[in-house]
């Protein structure tokens, strides 16, 4: 792949030597973690291909589209409304996080106790190894937490077009009004970037495309309730991760194809693990590519992950955008209403999240919950203890895990997970 795409990567300004190292580590990790799994659905071949070309053919699609005038918008957060981006015939892509990179450079611009996700994003930028960031015509930041909000002051000096979205922190009428104003401002910014007016017709198309993607993922989620589980948690997580990079229409078709296969597996009583295998739900911080450490530890310890209460999971895709009218104002209000329901830990208070975790555990017949917190991610770490107490009061055991992207604690995590599974037996 390097010889085929090297000129493109050089044109984007990547550090080719560092990028080659990243791809080597990514490929080795993918092979060890994903390709070693038993009884994988055949439909995962598509997602294997996507990952093999995640910095290759997919980037070429974006670059070719840019040559034809199609803009690329990069984001870090599920609060950035993809419907508006698609309506302007632009492409929304998730930006690189999920691994430690160029840490010595990051430590020169951010405090050492900054959360792993923020440091990772800076590492990919400073290390010049993220083609998604380098191909983006606009990068959207959002002030979901204090760490992100302040880090964008520095990121703005490193990228040419940083757009920062203000998000409410309290679920109130005033907070909703702020979100509506911010989405209107974002729509205008996207129109200015692309040179295309977002009409009611265009926005209806954007809503349809993004809703179809979410509906495909909803279908996948429901199939994971079966016992034996028809797909591993690792593969389901990978599908969620790919949703941030892939063409949305092609992705939707590929998810439905694998769901057809999973339905046949369920009908035949086939699964990736024997019936009765311990079933766990993940809750907490998002897991971006290549952050596969914890699900790999869990599933290699004899359990199966049946759901993710996460931005890279059901929190990010739970609701559809459902306009009550055909005019532009009704559609914009529906977008606000849909994203307003996201129960991110930055909101205070945030009781809906606890209810969603309990409902997911019941829906997927989970016997326990692993709460995943990234080190120094204060919102989710703050919510972890009250969530644990609430769930355990209802008879649902919880294991709280705080970690980073490094592999140094794998054996320690495995010991803790195995002890948790013994407790569930």
Query: How confident is the model at residue 3, as a pLDDT?
Result: 66
Give me the residue label for tokens 């369920």.
Answer: 266
| Collapsed DSSP state (helix, strand, coil) of residue 165 | strand
Query: How confident is the model at residue 344, as a pLDDT?
Result: 97
| Collapsed DSSP state (helix, strand, coil) of residue 75 | strand
Cα torsion through 297, 299, 303, 305, rounded to 10: 100
Q: Cα(119)–Cα(135) distance, rounded to whole angstroms?
A: 20
Distances from the Cα of 292 to the Cα of 96, 234, 267, 312, 395, angstroms = 14, 7, 29, 12, 28
Q: Cα(156)–Cα(136) distance, rounded to whole angstroms?
A: 14
Residue 341 is inside which H or E element, if any? Answer: none
Query: How confident is the model at residue 96, as a pLDDT?
Result: 87
Q: Cα(24)–Cα(18) distance, rounded to whole angstroms?
A: 10
Query: How confident is the model at residue 1, as a pLDDT?
Result: 44
Query: How confident is the model at residue 124, as a pLDDT?
Result: 97
Query: How confident is the model at residue 4, as a pLDDT?
Result: 87
Intervals of the chain under pLDDT 70 = 1-3
Q: Cα(235)–Cα(230) distance, rounded to whole angstroms?
A: 10
User: Are residues 384 and 206 in contact, defined by beta-carbon separation less than 8 angstroms?
Assistant: no
Give the bridge partners for 281, in sequence order: 307, 369
Query: Per this entry, what is the length of the chain?
Result: 425
The reported pTM is 0.97
Give the bridge partners for 400, in sequence order: 371
CATH no. for 204-320+328-335+343-424 = 3.40.50.11900
- The domain limits of the chain are 204-320+328-335+343-424
User: Are residues 224 and 307 in contact, defined by beta-carbon separation less than 8 angstroms?
Assistant: yes
């Amino acid at each position: 792949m390097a010889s085929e795409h090297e000129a493109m990567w050089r044109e984007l300004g990547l550090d080719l030597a560092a990028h080659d190292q990243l791809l080597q580590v990514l490929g080795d990790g993918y092979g060890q973690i994903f390709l070693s799994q038993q009884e994988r659905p055949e439909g995962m071949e598509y997602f294997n291909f996507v990952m093999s070309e995640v910095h290759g053919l997919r980037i070429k699609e974006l670059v070719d589209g840019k040559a034809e005038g199609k803009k690329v918008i990069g984001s870090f957060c599920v609060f950035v409304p993809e419907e508006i981006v698609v309506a302007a015939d632009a492409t929304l892509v998730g930006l690189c996080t999920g691994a430690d990179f160029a840490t010595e450079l990051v430590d020169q611009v951010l405090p050492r106790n900054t959360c792993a996700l923020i440091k990772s994003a800076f590492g990919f930028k400073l290390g010049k190894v993220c083609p998604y960031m380098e191909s983006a015509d606009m990068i959207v930041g959002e002030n979901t937490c204090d760490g992100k909000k302040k880090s964008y002051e520095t990121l703005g000096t490193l990228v040419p077009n940083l757009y920062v979205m203000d998000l409410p922190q309290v679920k109130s009428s005033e907070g909703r009004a702020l979100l509506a104003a911010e989405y209107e401002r974002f729509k205008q910014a996207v129109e200015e970037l692309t040179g295309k007016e977002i009409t009611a017709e265009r926005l209806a198309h954007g809503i349809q495309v993004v809703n179809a993607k979410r509906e495909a993922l909803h279908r996948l989620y429901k199939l994971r309730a079966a016992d034996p589980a028809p797909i591993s948690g690792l593969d389901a997580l990978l599908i969620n991760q790919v949703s941030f990079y892939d063409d949305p229409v092609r992705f939707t078709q590929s998810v439905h194809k694998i769901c057809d296969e999973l339905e046949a597996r369920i009908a035949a009583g086939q699964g990736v693990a024997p019936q009765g295998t311990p079933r766990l739900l993940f809750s907490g911080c998002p897991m971006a590519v290549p952050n596969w450490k914890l699900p790999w530890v869990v599933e290699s310890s004899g359990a199966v992950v049946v759901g993710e209460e996460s931005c890279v999971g059901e929190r990010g895709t739970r609701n559809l955008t459902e306009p009550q009218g055909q005019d532009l104002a009704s559609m914009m209000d529906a977008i606000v209403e849909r994203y307003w329901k996201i129960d991110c830990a930055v909101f205070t208070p945030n009781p809906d999240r606890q209810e969603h975790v309990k409902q997911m555990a019941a829906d997927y017949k989970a016997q326990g919950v692993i709460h995943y917190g990234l080190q120094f991610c204060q919102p989710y770490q703050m919510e972890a203890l009250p969530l644990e107490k609430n769930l355990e009061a209802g008879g649902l055991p919880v294991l709280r895990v705080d970690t980073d992207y490094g592999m140094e604690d794998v054996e320690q995590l495995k010991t803790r997970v195995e002890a948790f599974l013994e407790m569930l037996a």
